[in-house]
Amino acid sequence: MADKQETLKKISALVVEKLNIDPEAIRPDVTLQDLGADSLDMVEIIMKVEEEFGIEINDEDAEKLHTMQEVVDYIHAKRE
């Protein structure tokens, strides 16, 4: 299993591509909203994360994922 740093890199790449932002803007403590994601962007990012990591994120859990680090931790918890 990839380590959390590797997971963060993969998610960052998805977010940078989707939001068309500077990769330097992404830090573990930054929220997707801080990066300019609206609710539609959030849904699309969650779908891409599910696809990339082969997991399913239910709506209730998705609403609790705010920072990049929370997304990384969630993915690792689902894959253990």
Going by C-alpha positions, the residue among 23, 2, 59 that lies closest to residue 68 is 23
CATH number for the domain spanning 23: value is: 1.10.1200.10
Mean pLDDT of the region 71-80 = 93
Count of the separate structural domains present in the chain: 1
Exactly one of 38, 59, 61, 73 is catalytic; name it: 38
For every residue of the chain, which 3-state class applies, written as one string?
A: CCCHHHHHHHHHHHHHHHHCCCHHHCCCCCECCCCCCCHHHHHHHHHHHHHHHCCCCCHHHHHHCCEHHHHHHHHHHHHC
Question: pTM of the full predicted structure?
Answer: 0.91
The confidence score (pLDDT) of residue 30 equals 96
CA–CA separation, 21 vs 50, rounded Å?
A: 21
- Give the range of the structural domain holding residue 42, as residue numbers without chain letter: 4-79
- Mind listing the pLDDT tens digit for each residue in 28-53? 999 999 999 999 999 999 999 999 99
Whether 38 sits among the annotated catalytic residues: the reply is yes
